[in-house]
Amino acid sequence: MIRVTRLNGREFVINAEQILTVEETPDTVVTFTNHDKMVVKEKPDEVIRKAIEYQRGVRAFAKE
């Protein structure tokens, strides 16, 4: 799970493993594998960075 921010400033978490696409339109829109969409304050690069960090953490935990 990764923490992101709604446009109204409220934080919430999304399942990084369910992200299908991240696009800037100019707001950042995250589309999930079930085709639901969420608009977040973070720029696409930040969402991608958080998703990569999450995956690295999962893999590091699995190796232990």
pTM score, whole prediction? 0.86
| Beta-strand relationship, 28-32 and 37-40 | antiparallel
Give pLDDT tens digits for 23-35.
Answer: 999 999 999 999 9
Domain 2-63 belongs to what topology?
A: OB fold (Dihydrolipoamide Acetyltransferase, E2P) (2.40.50)
pLDDT of residue 60: 82
pLDDT of residue 2: 97
- Give Cβ neighbours of residue 61 (< 8 Å, ≥ 6 apart): none
pLDDT of residue 7: 95
Distance CA 50, CA 16 (A): 8
Q: How far is CA 54 from CA 33, 36, 39, 61, in A?
A: 17, 21, 20, 11
